């Protein structure tokens, strides 16, 4: 039985801001141009439309500033703005450090369930780990393949 702990609350950005310099945009344009040329060569008009839509979406997404989200960990679960993630939905949690940023990752019980990743300031880390550890076992987590690609592409 988990003991009752004082709720922990904090605010953090929803994702890490990645630096997009001039060369990132040049690389994006070159990759898009190359794939577009292949699409035209093989008359893949649907693929060409997908490339154009993907580049536009990527540009819009990468220029959008992250929202500040209010988090609260209590005995009932993780409250993310108005959404409540109950501890019963998760089998474990882990802590990740990406550069100078810390995040807690909630690992779902369901095989196809989605992980929940929440960023937190370093000063709140001990209270957050205590609250999560009171309800879930801690496991070692690593960046998965998709996270590594996102980090590499600075998306």
Number of domain units in the chain? 2
103 and 73 inside one domain = yes
Asked, for residue 114, whether it belongs to a domain, the answer is: yes
Q: How confident is the model at residue 56 (pLDDT cuts 50, 70, 90)?
A: very high
- Which token pair is 117? 């990743």
Mean pLDDT taken over the chain: 88
pLDDT-derived band at 14, boundaries 50, 70, 90? confident
Mean pLDDT of 28-39: 95
CB contact burial 45-54 (16+ within 10 A = b; e otherwise): eeebeebeee
For residue 149, is it within any domain?
Answer: yes
Tens digits of per-residue pLDDT, 78-131? 999 889 999 999 999 999 988 788 999 999 998 888 889 999 988 888 999 999
Q: What is the CATH number of the domain that holds 113?
A: 2.30.29.30
Containing domain of residue 117, as a range?
8-15+67-153
105 within some domain: yes
- 81 and 51, same structural domain? no
Give whole-number Cα distances, 31 to 14, 63, 90, in Å.
28, 19, 39
């Amino acid at each position: 039985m988990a003991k009752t702990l004082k709720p922990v609350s904090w605010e953090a950005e929803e994702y890490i801001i990645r630096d997009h310099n001039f060369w990132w945009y040049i690389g994006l344009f070159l990759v898009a141009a190359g794939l577009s040329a292949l699409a035209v060569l093989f008359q893949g008009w649907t693929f060409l439309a997908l490339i154009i839509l993907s580049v536009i979406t990527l540009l819009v997404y990468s220029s959008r500033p992250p929202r500040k989200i209010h988090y609260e960990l209590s005995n009932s679960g993780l409250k993310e703005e108005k959404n409540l993630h109950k501890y019963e939905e998760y089998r474990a949690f882990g802590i990740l450090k990406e550069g100078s940023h810390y995040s807690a990752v909630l690992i779902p019980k369901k095989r196809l369930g989605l992980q929940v990743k929440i960023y937190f300031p370093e000063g709140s880390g001990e209270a957050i780990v205590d609250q999560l550890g009171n309800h879930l076992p801690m496991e070692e987590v690593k960046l998965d393949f998709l996270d590594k690609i996102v980090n590499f592409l600075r998306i």
